Amino acid sequence: MTKDKIPLEKRIILALDVPTVEEAKETVRKFEAKIKFYKVGLQLFLAGWFNIVEWILDRDLEVFIDLKFFDVPQTVKLAVEQICNRGISFATVHGNDEILKAAVQAKGNLKILAVTVLTSLDEGDLKDLGFSCSVEDVVLSRAKRALEIGCDGVISSGLEVPKLRKHLGEKFLVVAPGIRPVKNTQDDQKRVVTVKEAFLNGADYVVIGRPIRNAEDPDSLIDKMHADIEEALELSKSRQLGKGFHHT
């Protein structure tokens, strides 16, 4: 499937960051009419293992396994082999070039997404970790290496996507977490954008959890987000057409 053919109901990946399998199933049943893509992270995977993944897939929905594999290369390769033939769409890998290479070698039809910089970190956090450059520069450097290695895309805050598209082009997937409504209370995410901003900046998918799950009127919120995505994609398409037009 080409990027411009991704169905609207799969553009939002709903994060099932909940403590129990029962709550995860209840969430899927509640939203599956409008959202067809779900993220299973470390918390839920440990609670439900592959059973919850298979339950979601059996409902004709897509699954993104977000375990951020980070270990010695051979271990990462063996871990990816465990999930590559289960019908899972995306998986995340976090690490250096050798770790990413190992994941790519084992991926099969699974799409490997390289984590650039977690959206819970800001520039001050990177300085504490020993980085002397900007968040944007770290994201671009890591994304460039990941794509050269053969990863299918990256996890990146929507804030950094314009720089990625400018320098690396369009032929890779960008999944943007840390998406929040315009009015948002403080939480553990620091580098955030709205749904519309993420797609205007060049994201292909967004990952959203609490803002949808905890919304007073989630159906209306999803409808609004879908409308924003459609508008942003149309605007982005118009911009691309404008760039390709030359006066004679």
Catalytic residues: 68
Two tokens at 142? 């890591």
H or E element that contains 206: strand 205-208
Q: How far apart are CA 245 and CA 240, in angstroms?
A: 9
Q: What is the largest CA-CA distance in the chain?
A: 63
The upper half-sphere exposure of residue 224, i.e. CA atoms within 13 Å in the direction of its Cβ, equals 13
Beta bridge partners of 13: 207
Structural contact between residues 221 and 212, judged by C-beta atoms closer than 8 angstroms: yes
DSSP-derived 3-state class of residue 12: strand
Beta bridge partners of 207: 13
Beta bridge partners of 85: none
Angle value at C-alpha 99, between 93 and 102, nearest 5 degrees: 95
Instruction: Find, among 93, 116, 118, 89, the residue nearest to 103 by Cα.
Output: 93
Residue type, 220: S
